[in-house]
Structure 1
């Protein structure tokens, strides 16, 4: 979660109000039910933050905008998570799952002592840490660190608003969340080409990983039917209940809902070796001549350049990699032709590693120093996603 900037002087009423909210813990969590679309039993609740009732900061847009202006966004985000878990723990009947949002601008701060205390004390439900797709390109390294921590503690991940930005589809196999939330815009326009394309990728990913697909913004019976047709098994929206107290939905809880999700995977989001070592699981190692490396990078460039939603994650050649003109030219051309490039802060000793990942596909090129150089390429999506994680775990912020 994102380090809050140093508090600024309370030079306006909004600043003073935020300081009061934080000091007096005045965040009020409301809970919206998430239901099984077939049975309408409540499988979980999403916690939604509200400020003090009847004030200018009651609703989240103003609350978070004021915190951002005051340099206290990270502190507010942490308080919202604390209050959500506190209220859910205190509920007379425990929900099976509690979805808690993570603000993208608050991903690189450590967890608060109170939040650690709540989680380590043993939650009577499974927490689902929910990222919006805005978090993916902003702080991918921090996102994987927080994701890994959630898995270590037996909790799970959800990717929200899928379908708004095509980049979220590229990151799906990298994050590999247990829950994928279809943005309500897809429900509203189910026959659009974009909707069909997004849902095809999501459906394939869910079949590959066992992820649960949730339809958002379901307001009518027709919306429910549409969400199911798009591949959703769970859903949320005003048809099932507006945000309110957790007691309003507890009588419909499905006690075994958590078992429908894949089990936590401690260590999954951390690197299981260097990118080259990871890549060897998806392709043979061959001699890395300059021409062979340049040709492999050219194929990667062509794959990335043909798709605006593709993301390239790369490290520069590390010590021991021959910096020939062909390789340098191929890298420069790659950088110049791709829309989204994440470049590692520092080279990986003795390796060159590059991966392109897009909706439903990937391609990785990894080189290791030696005599001769060793080259491995892979088009196996799980392998490419693992290479991407190995790279992003070395990326600052």
Structure 2
């Protein structure tokens, strides 16, 4: 077991990593009707009483030393070790992933822990900061997690409208509403987020968690926002597991959608995925121009939209096509013989796929699940972080 330094001792990030001095604390996540504990979220802390005790300084020190990846992996390892050593294991363990290092491979220790067969399902939480920065790595890591029978969650939904655009692309098992929605549920933004999340949860079977529940009124608000589960000080503050007396719901893990290995890495090209669900048409110059005009009109009307393009070599300049889109992602590995562009926003999607072989063919898709599938194919060819 890691040995804590004496109080007042100066602790460096190198010492934290060498001594495995990250401490996991655990906060309960509860079912809002029965208030039974369905899982725990692991939160990382450095050595108690040191300058690196709290996560903001701990992760800042890791980033400054160029060792953020090691620190993030250590936090994940310590969370699993803590949950596995508990007298009674939780049904679900939620652990956070640092967006800046999501392209790193799993550590040998982490693979060893997963191979030992934990009795609980692990849910890896992504924050929306990961969405524009490492979308390809995010989907590849989601695929790895699913292979092990575990799941993913999208955290802090509602802080940035872009998280709503990526919801159908990631299709997480869990959607976590940011606490700002609970604090101001009647704001127009909060109502929009709740409506989009509710529709996505109904479509995909995702469970919705509200964060920041501190009072009984917050609990009522969380349920009105569509949350099934929740977490916050009303139910318990983060603490060590050796003093916890949680009443776990043994059926909690089965309440989550079963894992779907391969879902985040669909086979085929963008054109093949689109044409399997929508009709092909001749790729005339006029037809292609009209289809791209539609993309441009959508992007011009919504600053929450995200555009994913297979190449910058489009009949319309990309900067014109992008309009007011919040993020534009251009692949660094284009699909040979194809041009594809998808625009996806809160609750909607539109994609144009063109194939040049054998005479230009065009497929136009407005169905959100299909546009999301086309986007997944595209983003899996994006390697830049």
Q: What TM-score, normalized to structure 1?
A: 0.92
- Corresponding residue pairs, total: 376
8 Å CA contact 1:305, 1:337 repeated in 2: yes
Secondary structure in 2 aligned to 1:45? strand
Secondary structure in 1 aligned to 2:182? helix
How far apart, in 2, do the equivalents of 1:72 and 1:36 lie?
37
Distance 1:38 1:381, change over 3 A: same
- Which residue does 1:345 correspond to in 2? 332
- Which residue does 1:241 correspond to in 2? 236
8 Å CA contact 2:76, 2:95 repeated in 1: yes
How far apart, in 2, do the equivalents of 1:303 and 1:255 lie?
46
Displacement after TM superposition at 1:50 (Å): 0.5
Cα distance per residue 1:308-333 (max 9 Å; x no partner)? 0000000127xxxxx8xxx6236553
How far apart, in 2, do the equivalents of 1:173 and 1:252 lie?
33
Secondary structure in 1 aligned to 2:378? helix
How far apart, in 1, do the equivalents of 2:381 and 2:23 lie?
37
- Which residue does 1:49 correspond to in 2? 44
Whether 2:19 is the aligned partner of 1:24: answer: yes
How far apart, in 1, do the equivalents of 2:344 and 2:311 lie?
18
Gaps of 5+ in 2: 1-8
Displacement after TM superposition at 1:247 (Å): 4.0
8 Å CA contact 2:281, 2:363 repeated in 1: yes
- Which residue does 2:353 correspond to in 1? 366
8 Å CA contact 1:42, 1:249 repeated in 2: no
Displacement after TM superposition at 1:290 (Å): 1.3
Whether 2:382 is the aligned partner of 1:387: answer: no
How far apart, in 2, do the equivalents of 1:226 and 1:251 lie?
24
Displacement after TM superposition at 1:250 (Å): 4.6
Secondary structure in 2 aligned to 1:217? coil
Displacement after TM superposition at 1:369 (Å): 1.3
Alignment of 1:158-173 (within 5 A): 158-173=153-168
Alignment of 1:149-298 (within 5 A): 149-298=144-293
Secondary structure in 1 aligned to 2:332? coil
How far apart, in 2, do the equivalents of 1:371 and 1:40 lie?
61
Secondary structure in 1 aligned to 2:103? coil
Of 331-340 and 138-147, more deviation after overlay is shown by 331-340
Displacement after TM superposition at 1:249 (Å): 4.0
- Which residue does 2:54 correspond to in 1? 59
How far apart, in 2, do the equivalents of 1:186 and 1:286 lie?
44
- Which residue does 1:314 correspond to in 2? 309
Distance 1:193 1:91, change over 3 A: same
8 Å CA contact 2:299, 2:323 repeated in 1: no
- Which residue does 2:116 correspond to in 1? 121
Q: What TM-score, normalized to structure 2?
A: 0.95
What's the Cα RMSD here? 1.5
Cα distance per residue 1:216-236 (max 9 Å; x no partner)? 000000000000000001000
Displacement after TM superposition at 1:337 (Å): 5.4
8 Å CA contact 2:72, 2:97 repeated in 1: yes
- Which residue does 2:320 correspond to in 1? 333
Of 160-169 and 279-288, more deviation after overlay is shown by 279-288
- Which residue does 1:354 correspond to in 2? 341
How far apart, in 2, do the equivalents of 1:337 and 1:178 lie?
30
- Which residue does 1:3 correspond to in 2? none
Distance 1:42 1:336, change over 3 A: closer
8 Å CA contact 1:41, 1:252 repeated in 2: yes
Gaps of 5+ in 1: 1-12, 318-322
